[in-house]
Amino acid sequence: MSGMIILTRTYKKGYVMTHILYIEDEREIGSLVSQQLVDRGYEVTWLQSGEGAESYVDLVDLVILDVMLPGLDGFSIGKRLKRASDSLPILMLSARTAMEDKIEGLSFADDYITKPFHFDELVARIEVLLRRFQKQEQLLLIQHLHINTKDISITNTITNEEIQLTGKQFLLFQCFIRHLNQILSKNQLYEQVWSETYIEGDKTLMVHIRYLREKIEVDPSNPTIIETIRGIGYRVKQ
């Protein structure tokens, strides 16, 4: 396959690397970003055009796609890939910043980053997509909690016991883990957990957050895992 470069790094036996398909025609950018992704522990297949991209659908965990490519453009390739596998996250990485391009890109892709980008932001967004699509079993350590992101099982490392959550608490915590380090407004949390419109002044969310804190925080009166962002909402930071 022409223009295909696979970059990997040797890891200990049994470690399953996240495989990223990166489609970028600009050689210098492609080379630099591929290498930086490998340095971050991903296996990267870099293609300089969309030709043959569909054959990787079952082999990769995520696709990073440029828009302006020789031959078929990134939008057409992305739509084909999404048709082939709906569960494959696609992240558009393009120098096209017009609103129309973003809207077209986000009509099928799961995220859109414009160039020039900060590499840490790219990695953060890759991680969010992998968590959202549950593409990897990842163990998170947040203070004294061990969290399996695939099934949201929580273990208290102090007592070495698994923390059991009720239905709403589980949904709330899952929401926080899927949007790790992001501030979620009360409206967003309420609508995702209760599937209803949040009415200003409703205390239901606050009560459930309090119950959740009582289960996961060391000192629920002084919470450090679920932060209250005054006037905006809540955040779980790693």
Q: Which residues bind other proteins (CB under 8 A)?
A: 26, 28-29, 32-33, 35-36, 39, 68, 94-101, 114-119, 181-188, 200-201, 229-233, 235
Least Cβ distance, residue 132 to other proteins (angstroms): 17
Instruction: Please identify, using beta-carbon distances, which residue of 101 and 154 lies nearer to other proteins.
Output: 101
Least Cβ distance, residue 160 to other proteins (angstroms): 33
Instruction: Please identify, using beta-carbon distances, which residue of 58 and 200 lies nearer to other proteins.
Output: 200
Least Cβ distance, residue 215 to other proteins (angstroms): 25
Residues 137 and 131 sit within 8 Å (Cβ to Cβ): no
Residues 63 and 55 sit within 8 Å (Cβ to Cβ): no
Residues 49 and 73 sit within 8 Å (Cβ to Cβ): no
Buried b (16+ CB within 10 A) or exposed e, 192-226: ebbeeebeeeeeebeebbeebbeebbeeeeebebb
Residue 132, helix vs strand vs coil: helix
Instruction: Please identify, using beta-carbon distances, which residue of 96 and 135 lies nearer to other proteins.
Output: 96
What is the CB neighbour count within 10 angstroms for residue 103? 10
Instruction: Please identify, using beta-carbon distances, which residue of 167 and 201 lies nearer to other proteins.
Output: 201
- Residue 67 to residue 24: CA distance in whole angstroms: 8
Residue 232, helix vs strand vs coil: coil
Least Cβ distance, residue 53 to other proteins (angstroms): 20
User: Order of strands, edge to edge, in the sheet holding 42-47?
Assistant: 4-7, 42-47, 18-23, 62-65, 90-94, 111-114
Instruction: Please identify, using beta-carbon distances, which residue of 35 and 224 lies nearer to other proteins.
Output: 35
Instruction: Please identify, using beta-carbon distances, which residue of 137 and 191 lies nearer to other proteins.
Output: 191
DSSP H/E element including 33: helix 27-39
Least Cβ distance, residue 101 to other proteins (angstroms): 6
Least Cβ distance, residue 115 to other proteins (angstroms): 4
- Residue 65 to residue 73: CA distance in whole angstroms: 10
